[in-house]
Amino acid sequence: MTIALDPSDTTPDTPDTPGTTAAPAPEPEENFWVPEPAAPSEETGRAEEIEEITEAEETAGAEEVDPADHDPVVVQDARDFGVYARTGGWTFALKVARSVRPGGQPAEGTAARKVSARAFAALAGCSPERVMRHYKAWDMAADDGLVPQFEVLEPGADIELPDADVWLSYYTSRNSASSVRGQAISAAAEAEGIRPTKALEVAENPTALRAAILADPGTAEAARGALLDRMREDPALQTEMARAIARTDDLKKAVASEAKVADRVGYVRQIVESGQVRTPAGQTVEAPPEVRAEAERHLSLIDELDDSEEAGEWAGEAYESVKGLVARAVEENPELRVQERRTRFYSSLQKATKVFEELTLDEVMEEEIYEEDMLQRLEALQEAIGSCIAALRKAAPTAP
């Protein structure tokens, strides 16, 4: 569309509208601020009333209006509003692009009609930084071929402008966006499909983010998911979170409880996915059909749980049920039962051997270490080992 706005045009809701005679006004702060929740008031009631009226007007459809029937000032305001509604920030970026040349120096072969960003800001009653943000947005759009380059624009020139929605892809109202940190935040915001300015606002006010997390479960859930995603690629953050959890008793207990649930679900899932089962003694064997079927039944119930439902009770029931079937299957299979007992004996023997090897015999030679009970326990252990050896020799197959 082609715009032709009056040079003295000012739009109250848009802080970037340049004026030629307007007195300088303090630039509104851009810091992100989360207001305290307010109790219902007359203003709240009035806002709801306005919203109801607006909804009624929207459902009524477009109204045919003759400009001649209305005050010309109102008609002009409406038309200016329409221009901005269709083009957004491009309306004011064009004013900057056709009127400003940084430093105020004319381009080669052009008349010295354009002014510096500082002079333009003084005339507009805003900061040079704000003017330059519009200038840079136009420059990036020009590089993409979306709008003409500055050199072909003369003061007062009108051109077709892009849609308002495209403006947010080029303009940022945050100074921090130009930093390395700001660029990373902007890139992440674009990847999530949101406006970079929103993410930058939050990043510039961590206290507001903390307040939102503390007050709103939805925000807390979003923060939790973001932290988990970040920790997968940030070992330092992993360490910090693990340390914080380990130092907090309630969190440490909660983690231990969830780890137990995860282990039990993993035990059942492993049977379903691999078709193998781990016996109580620790040997891995093919899962009997009834064990695998029971594991599949319990796992399907667990997988259907909503995120808000606790899986602990379901995991415990599944684990005990499958474990009981495994133990029964072992006892009902003579060959498997013998192998299970052999495995259990070897496991106990290895543990006992390791413990005994860790005894420091040099310390026994010292008189201060000696206790009568030590000798009695070792003698009892020696007797038990002797009995075990005799039993094994008796059970040994007779040589041919």
Rounded Cα distance between 146 and 141, Å, is 5
CA distance 132 to 178: 12
Strand partners, 160: 2
Q: Are residues 93 and 130 in the same domain?
A: yes
The reply to whether 381 falls in a domain is no
What pLDDT does residue 25 have?
43
> Tell me, what's the pLDDT at 149?
92
In a domain, 376, yes or no: no
Do 290 and 222 lie in one domain? The reply is no
pLDDT at position 46: 53
Structurally, how many domains does the chain consist of?
A: 3
Alpha carbon distance 328, 343 (integer Å): 17
β-bridge partners, 276: 286
Residue 30 maps to a domain: yes
Q: What pLDDT sits at residue 109?
A: 53
In a domain, 388, yes or no: no
**Are 14 and 84 within 8 A, CB to CB?**
yes
Q: What is the 3-state secondary structure (H, E, C) of the chain?
A: CECCCCCCCCCCCCCCCCCCCCCCCCCCCCCCCCCCCCCCCHHHHHHHHHHHHHHHHHHCCCCCCCHHHCCHHHHHHHHHHHHHHHHCCHHHHHHHHHHECHHHCCCCCCCCCCECHHHHHHHHCCCHHHHHHHHHHHHHHHHCCCCCCHHHCCCCCCCECCCHHHHCCCCCCCHHHHCHHHHHHHHHHHHHCCCHHHHHHHHCCHHHHHHHHHHCHHHHHHHHHHHHHHHCCCHHHHHHHHHHHHCCHHHHHHHHHHHHHHHHHHHHHHHHHHCEEECCCCCEEECCHHHHHHHHHHHHHHHCCCCCCCCHHHHHHHHHHHHHHHHHHHHHCHHHHHHHHHHHHHHHHHHHHHHHHCCCHHHHCCCCCCCHHHHHHHHHHHHHHHHHHHHHHHHCCCCC
pLDDT of residue 215: 92
Quick: pLDDT tens for 223-241. 888 888 888 888 898 899 9
Q: What's the pLDDT at 180? A: 64
Could you tell me if 143 and 220 lie in one domain? no
Last residue of a domain, one of 171, 196, 225: 171
* Rounded Cα distance, 187 and 242, in Å: 28
Which of 106, 140, 171 terminates a domain? The answer is 171
pLDDT < 50 positions in the chain: 1-41, 43-44, 53-61
The domain of 232 spans: 216-247
Pair (164, 292) in one structural domain: no
Kindly report, residue by residue over 117-175, the tens digit of the pLDDT.
888 889 988 888 888 888 888 988 899 899 999 888 988 888 988 888 888 777 765 55
Q: Say if residue 224 is in the same domain as residue 150.
A: no
Q: Does residue 6 form part of some domain?
A: yes
d(CA 93, CA 150): 11
Q: For residue 360, what pLDDT is reported?
A: 64
Full-prediction pTM beyond 0.85?
no
Query: Are residue 257 and residue 290 in the same domain, yes or no?
Result: yes
**In a shared domain, residues 277 and 328:** yes
pLDDT at 11: 37
